[in-house]
Structure 1
Amino acid sequence: MPVVHLGALALTFVFLACAVQAETTPEQPANHFNDPFLQVTSAIADCPPEPGPLITLAQQQAEAHWRAERGTSCFRSGRCRLPNAYLYDAEIIPRVQKAILADGRFGDTSIWVEGQRRWVWLKGCVRRPEQAAALEQLVRGIDDVEAVINELKPRGP
C-alpha cells in the first residue's frame, strides 16, 4: 500500500486552490476552491437565487491553511478512506441531486445544494416546513455525508 505524505498532500491542495483563483481579480468573488454547487429544483419563482460559495482572493488565502488542515484531519483520524474530506464532495453533490429528484416529494421547491468536506448545505425555498425536514433527513442518509446544514426557507403555497 502506498504511503501518503499528508504534508505534501495538503500543499498540493493549497496550490490547486491557488491555481483556480488565477482567472479572477483579487476583489472579484469566485468559487476559488471549486466547491460543488448546483441548483436541483426551480419551481418557486419568487425564491431568490443562491450565490454559491463565492469568496474573494483574500478570503481564499486566509482559508487555505485551515481547509487543508481540516480536510486531512478526517483521514488522519481514520474517519475517511480518501486522504482529504473535500475529495468526497464532487461525488456527494450529484448523489444528493439524484436522491432529491428521484424522491418525488420536492418538485414544487427551489433548492440549491453545496458541498464542503462531506458537509451538505441545503439552500433555497420549500412550500412547507415539513419539506425542509424531509429533505434534511433524506440527505443525511446518503453515503459519505457527514453533516447537513439546512438553510431552506418555507415560502407557502
Structure 2
Amino acid sequence: MLQARRFRALLPVLLAACAMPPPAHGEILKNWFNDPFIQVRNAVPDCPQPLGPLVSEQEAHRESHWRTERGTSCWLAGQCSKPNSYLYDAPIAQAVQAHFAADPAFARSSLWLTFQRRFVWVEGCSADPAITAAALEAFVRAAPDVERVIVNLRAPGANKAPYPLVPP
C-alpha cells in the first residue's frame, strides 16, 4: 500500500520529466530559474554530468506556469510556511552540501544534486556496488524540509546513465 502511494505521488514528476523534449542541436541551455545544482562527490572519472536544471528558453517558458502553480500549491494547502516551495531550495541545498562535506559517505562516487520545490534529485555514478538508492535517499533526507528524494545512479559496470545528460 505504501509503495502504491509513493508511486502515485511520484507519477506527476515522472510524467513531466518524460514529456520534456531533448534540446534542439545548438540550442542554448541555461538554469533559467536558478535552481541549486551542485556536485558533492567526484571520484568516478568517466561519470557523465547530468543535465540538471538546464533547459532551453522555450522550455523555460513552458515550465513557468507549471512552476508557479506547483510552487504556491504547497502554501495554499497549508503544508509550507513560505509562500512558494521553491524558496526552500537554497537552504536545503546548503544543508545537504554541508552534510556531504562533514561525512565521508559515498566517497567512491560522483554525485550531482538538483533542488526544486523541496525535491532533491541525486544523479551520478558509483564505483562501490554497496551504495544503494535507499542509502543515498536516507542521507539526503536528513536535511530539514526535504519532501522527496529521487535517486538516479549509474551502477558499476553500466554503460548508460539513467538520467538526461548535458549535450556534448
Q: TM class, shorter-chain normalised?
A: 0.7 to 0.9
Q: What runs of 5+ residues in structure 2 fail to find an aligned partner?
A: 1-26, 158-168
Distance in structure 1 (CA, Å) of the matches to 2:146 and 2:55: 24
CA contact (8 A) 1:101 1:107 kept: no
Equivalent pairs: percent with the same residue? 49
The offset of 1:115, in angstroms, is 0.3
Distance in structure 1 (CA, Å) of the matches to 2:144 and 2:73: 19
Residues 108/130 of structure 1: CA separation in 2 closer, same or farther (3 Å cut)? closer
- Report the AA paired with residue 153 of structure 2: L
Quote the residue 2:143 is aligned against: 142
Distance in structure 2 (CA, Å) of the matches to 1:55 and 1:36: 14
The offset of 1:155, in angstroms, is 1.9
Q: What runs of 5+ residues in structure 1 fail to find an aligned partner?
A: 1-26
- Report the AA paired with residue 154 of structure 2: K
The offset of 1:66, in angstroms, is 1.1
Q: What per-residue deviation string (whole Å, max 9, x for no partner) do you get for residues 43-87 of structure 1? A: 111111223211111111111111001100101111111110001
The offset of 1:142, in angstroms, is 1.6
Quote the residue 2:31 is aligned against: 31
Quote the residue 1:79 is aligned against: 79
1:65 maps to 2:89: no
Secondary structure of 1:145's aligned partner: coil
Distance in structure 1 (CA, Å) of the matches to 2:131 and 2:143: 19
Quote the residue 1:154 is aligned against: 155
Distance in structure 1 (CA, Å) of the matches to 2:109 and 2:86: 27
> Normalised by the size of structure 2, how large is the TM-score?
0.72
Quote the residue 2:98 is aligned against: 98
1:52 maps to 2:52: yes
The offset of 1:131, in angstroms, is 4.0
CA contact (8 A) 1:100 1:135 kept: no
CA contact (8 A) 1:119 1:147 kept: yes
CA contact (8 A) 2:106 2:131 kept: no
The offset of 1:133, in angstroms, is 2.3
The offset of 1:103, in angstroms, is 2.4
Distance in structure 2 (CA, Å) of the matches to 1:115 and 1:128: 26
CA contact (8 A) 1:36 1:89 kept: yes
